[in-house]
Amino acid sequence: MYALKGQRIMQAVLSPEAIAKVNREKTERDEETGQDWHQGSLAVWILPTAGLSADLMQLWKHSDETYRQSCASCHALPHSEEYLANQWIGTLGAMKRYTSLDDAEYRLMLSWLQDHSKDVGPATQGGGHK
């Protein structure tokens, strides 16, 4: 599942069983790519001990700090708004091997960069996704 139409900002990876339970609410065609995007929802239950945080600002702060520490040691940091959300996938992917980030840290940093990108971030009409 992705956060926004036309943006490959990963929100969840679903099993085939979970995909079958997604409620498709609306379909829109992306005129630039010709792809159909389906707005959907999925009801889930989460244990309170699952270690999840609802404090998005704290997660973004942590991601910003991780970005600065992991990437500034080798080169000048590009501002998050220098790239489009979908461009960050390849840009950060090319650099992953030079970091000590585990998969969860990498995915969180990628999500932060995409949420603060040129076409999704605070400078755009929507002000990012939630």
CA distance 39 to 126: 17
Among 36-50, 58-72, 88-102, where is mean pLDDT lowest?
36-50
Query: Given a cut of 60, is residue 128 above it in pLDDT?
Result: no
- Check the CA dihedral 6-10-12-15 and report its sign: positive
| Helical axes 103-115 vs 85-95, angle rounded to 10° | 150
CA distance 9 to 31: 19
Q: What per-residue confidence (pLDDT) applies to 48?
A: 77
Is the separation of the CB atoms in 130 and 56 below 8 Å? yes
Q: What per-residue confidence (pLDDT) applies to 103?
A: 92
pLDDT band at 126 (very low <50, low <70, confident <90, very high): low
